[in-house]
Amino acid sequence: MWQTLVKTARQLLSQMGRSIPRSGPETLRPRSGRPAQLNTYNPLERVVLTDEVGRTLFEEYGQHRSAQGRGNDETGWVLLGLRERNEAVVLATLPAGTAADASVSHVRFNSSAQAVASRIVRQSDRRLTILGVVHTHPGSLRHPSDGDFRGDSQWVRVLRGQEGIFGIGTADAKTASEAGVRPSYQPHPNVQCWGELRFSWYTLRLGQRQYRPIPLEMVYGPDLARPLHCF
């Protein structure tokens, strides 16, 4: 999957009119001719999701699981939003796409369609950038796999701040009646559940040897790409 993610990232960043940083912090080159301002990014402290982004992930994951003959295949989304100094704010989801290649062990995104969709979404806010990716596992592996790490550890170098957020979806959470709580609940700072569906969130920075669980916060707001979820 990671080769497709790198391709997607390069396509989206190209569509966004941005260069891919090779190493070190990003340097902004102001048009006014003033000295360039060094804009460094600290390690991420939290991920902020709008409520509609969260609803998109849960609803589309549920619909995917209900699809006859494909419920156990992996699926996923590229995440767009704002990369702030200490946090990532997710404002849009780009689904794998109807033409995605998927099985129980992999998902290969429709990167061309995602690149076009990202260009449309960014018409509303040019600051949007790629923040990471969410994908599902058919069993109870709530953590990125070794294969995920091999790809993600290379992919993060093309992301702003050279750090990405990664969500893993599974369908092994306790139901509301079993948990004795509301249908949507957060058993751990980096975990969000809705019925049997569960998303566990992590971050990975260039050079790190393992993923780090990252706290998740929800705020009121849109999924800017939701109207495009037909490709």
**pLDDT surpasses 60 at 147:** yes
- Of 7-11, 107-111, 123-127, 152-156, the poorest mean pLDDT is in 7-11
The share of the chain scoring above pLDDT 70, in percent, equals: 67
Q: For residues 52 and 15, what is the distance between their CA atoms, to the nearest angstrom? A: 25
Supply the pLDDT for residue 111. Answer: 63
Q: For residue 143, which phi and psi values (nearest 5 degrees)?
A: -130, 150
Are residues 56 and 93 in contact, defined by beta-carbon separation less than 8 angstroms? yes
Supply the pLDDT for residue 108. Answer: 56
Supply the pLDDT for residue 102. Answer: 43
Supply the pLDDT for residue 164. Answer: 97
The per-residue pLDDT for range 164-209, each reduced to its tens digit, is: 999 999 999 876 555 555 678 899 999 999 989 999 999 999 999 9
Supply the pLDDT for residue 71. Answer: 54
Q: Is 132 left (phi over 0), alpha (psi -120 to 50) or beta?
A: left
Supply the pLDDT for residue 177. Answer: 55
The per-residue pLDDT for range 13-46, each reduced to its tens digit, is: 444 333 222 222 232 222 333 333 336 899 999 9
Q: Which of 13, 21, 48 is nearest to 163 (CA)?
A: 21
* Domain 2-15+43-228: assigned CATH number: 3.40.140.10
Angle between helix 146-155 and 2-15 (nearest 10): 30
Stretch 142-152: mean pLDDT = 91
Q: Where are the domains of the chain?
A: 2-15+43-228
Q: Which two tokens stand for residue 109?
A: 């995104």
Residue recorded with tokens 């940083």: 21
pTM of the model: 0.76
Q: For residues 230 and 98, what is the distance between their CA atoms, to the nearest angstrom? A: 8
Q: Which of 132, 113, 5, 137 is nearest to 65 (CA)?
A: 137
Q: Where are the alpha helices (DSSP H) in the chain?
A: 2-15, 51-66, 111-121, 146-155, 176-179
Residues in the chain: 231
**pLDDT surpasses 80 at 138:** yes
- Of 17-31, 98-112, 127-141, 180-194, the poorest mean pLDDT is in 17-31
**pLDDT surpasses 60 at 57:** yes
Supply the pLDDT for residue 13. Answer: 44
Q: For residues 76 and 150, what is the distance between their CA atoms, to the nearest angstrom? A: 18
